[in-house]
Protein backbone atom coordinates (compact mmCIF):
# COMPACT_ATOMS: atom_id res chain seq x y z
CA UNK A 1 0.00 0.00 0.00
CA UNK A 2 1.35 3.43 -0.94
CA UNK A 3 -0.10 6.84 -0.14
CA UNK A 4 0.84 9.96 -2.09
CA UNK A 5 -0.11 13.56 -1.52
CA UNK A 6 -2.96 14.76 -3.75
CA UNK A 7 -3.81 18.26 -2.55
CA UNK A 8 -4.18 20.65 0.36
CA UNK A 9 -7.34 22.69 0.86
CA UNK A 10 -7.80 26.30 1.95
CA UNK A 11 -11.21 27.91 2.33
CA UNK A 12 -11.36 31.44 0.91
CA UNK A 13 -13.82 34.32 1.19
CA UNK A 14 -13.17 35.98 -2.18
CA UNK A 15 -12.29 33.38 -4.80
CA UNK A 16 -11.27 35.84 -7.53
CA UNK A 17 -9.02 37.79 -5.15
CA UNK A 18 -7.39 34.56 -3.97
CA UNK A 19 -6.90 33.29 -7.53
CA UNK A 20 -5.24 36.57 -8.49
CA UNK A 21 -2.95 36.35 -5.44
CA UNK A 22 -1.84 32.75 -6.01
CA UNK A 23 -1.28 33.39 -9.71
CA UNK A 24 0.82 36.51 -9.15
CA UNK A 25 2.60 35.61 -5.92
CA UNK A 26 3.41 31.97 -6.67
CA UNK A 27 2.80 31.45 -10.39
CA UNK A 28 0.16 28.78 -9.75
CA UNK A 29 -2.22 27.91 -12.57
CA UNK A 30 -5.80 26.69 -12.49
CA UNK A 31 -5.80 22.94 -13.18
CA UNK A 32 -9.49 22.23 -12.65
CA UNK A 33 -12.72 23.52 -11.20
CA UNK A 34 -15.87 22.00 -9.74
CA UNK A 35 -18.99 24.03 -9.11
CA UNK A 36 -21.94 22.69 -7.15
CA UNK A 37 -25.07 22.39 -9.27
CA UNK A 38 -26.92 24.54 -6.74
CA UNK A 39 -24.14 27.16 -6.61
CA UNK A 40 -23.40 26.49 -2.93
CA UNK A 41 -19.66 26.01 -3.44
CA UNK A 42 -16.83 26.25 -5.94
CA UNK A 43 -13.61 24.26 -5.78
CA UNK A 44 -10.61 25.45 -7.79
CA UNK A 45 -7.49 23.29 -8.07
CA UNK A 46 -4.17 25.08 -8.62
CA UNK A 47 -0.89 23.54 -9.69
CA UNK A 48 2.72 24.63 -10.11
CA UNK A 49 3.23 22.91 -13.48
CA UNK A 50 6.11 20.84 -12.08
CA UNK A 51 4.62 18.51 -9.47
CA UNK A 52 1.33 16.66 -9.18
CA UNK A 53 0.54 18.22 -5.79
CA UNK A 54 -2.32 20.73 -5.98
CA UNK A 55 -3.82 23.46 -3.84
CA UNK A 56 -7.60 23.34 -3.62
CA UNK A 57 -9.33 26.66 -2.93
CA UNK A 58 -12.87 26.26 -1.62
CA UNK A 59 -15.39 29.09 -1.84
CA UNK A 60 -18.69 28.69 0.03
CA UNK A 61 -21.72 30.76 -0.99
CA UNK A 62 -23.09 32.86 1.83
CA UNK A 63 -19.88 32.89 3.87
CA UNK A 64 -19.17 36.47 4.92
CA UNK A 65 -17.08 36.12 8.07
CA UNK A 66 -13.32 35.53 7.93
CA UNK A 67 -12.22 32.00 8.74
CA UNK A 68 -10.83 31.39 12.22
CA UNK A 69 -7.21 30.41 11.60
CA UNK A 70 -6.45 29.86 15.28
CA UNK A 71 -2.79 30.45 15.99
CA UNK A 72 -2.08 30.06 12.24
CA UNK A 73 0.73 27.60 12.92
CA UNK A 74 -0.20 25.51 9.88
CA UNK A 75 1.29 26.74 6.62
CA UNK A 76 2.18 25.80 3.07
CA UNK A 77 5.79 25.96 1.88
CA UNK A 78 7.25 26.58 -1.57
CA UNK A 79 10.81 26.26 -2.84
CA UNK A 80 11.86 29.03 -5.24
CA UNK A 81 14.82 29.05 -7.61
CA UNK A 82 15.33 32.85 -7.51
CA UNK A 83 14.88 33.80 -3.86
CA UNK A 84 15.92 37.45 -4.35
CA UNK A 85 13.45 38.00 -7.19
CA UNK A 86 10.67 36.29 -5.22
CA UNK A 87 11.41 38.45 -2.18
CA UNK A 88 11.34 41.60 -4.34
CA UNK A 89 7.98 40.60 -5.87
CA UNK A 90 6.45 39.82 -2.49
CA UNK A 91 7.79 43.05 -0.99
CA UNK A 92 6.22 44.97 -3.90
CA UNK A 93 2.93 43.14 -3.28
CA UNK A 94 3.12 43.98 0.44
CA UNK A 95 2.41 40.39 1.47
CA UNK A 96 5.55 39.55 3.47
CA UNK A 97 4.40 38.94 7.03
CA UNK A 98 7.49 37.44 8.68
CA UNK A 99 11.17 37.12 7.83
CA UNK A 100 13.78 34.87 9.40
CA UNK A 101 17.14 35.90 7.90
CA UNK A 102 19.00 33.46 10.18
CA UNK A 103 17.18 30.54 8.56
CA UNK A 104 17.17 32.20 5.13
CA UNK A 105 13.38 32.04 4.75
CA UNK A 106 10.35 34.31 4.90
CA UNK A 107 6.58 34.00 4.95
CA UNK A 108 3.89 35.70 2.92
CA UNK A 109 0.22 36.00 3.85
CA UNK A 110 -2.61 35.39 1.40
CA UNK A 111 -5.84 37.46 1.31
CA UNK A 112 -7.42 35.24 4.00
CA UNK A 113 -4.42 35.34 6.33
CA UNK A 114 -2.96 31.92 5.54
CA UNK A 115 0.85 31.91 5.78
CA UNK A 116 3.08 30.54 3.03
CA UNK A 117 6.76 29.84 3.65
CA UNK A 118 9.21 30.75 0.91
CA UNK A 119 12.38 28.63 0.87
CA UNK A 120 15.34 29.08 -1.47
CA UNK A 121 16.48 26.04 -3.43
CA UNK A 122 19.69 25.01 -1.74
**DSSP symbol at 113:** S
CA-CA distance, 62 to 56, in Å (whole number)? 19
93 contact partners, CB below 8 Å, separation of at least 6 = 24, 25, 108
Q: What is the pLDDT of residue 65?
A: 95
CA-CA distance, 42 to 59, in Å (whole number)? 5
What domains sit in the chain, N to C, each tagged with a CATH number?
7-64+74-120 (3.10.180.10)
Choosing from 50, 56, 92, 117, the catalytic residue is 117
Q: Identify the band that residue 122 occupies on the pLDDT scale cut at 50, 70 and 90.
A: confident
Whether 50 is catalytic is no
pLDDT at 25 over 90: yes
How many Å from the N-terminal Cα to the C-terminal Cα in the chain?
32
Contact predicate 55/28, CB 8 Å = yes
pLDDT in tens, 55-91: 999 999 999 999 999 887 889 999 999 999 999 999 9
Q: What is the pLDDT of residue 49?
A: 95
Q: What is the pLDDT of residue 3?
A: 86
Amino acid sequence: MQFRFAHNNLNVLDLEKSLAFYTRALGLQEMGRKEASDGSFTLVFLGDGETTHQLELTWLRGRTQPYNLGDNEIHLAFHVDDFAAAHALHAEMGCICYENPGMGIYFISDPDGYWIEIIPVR
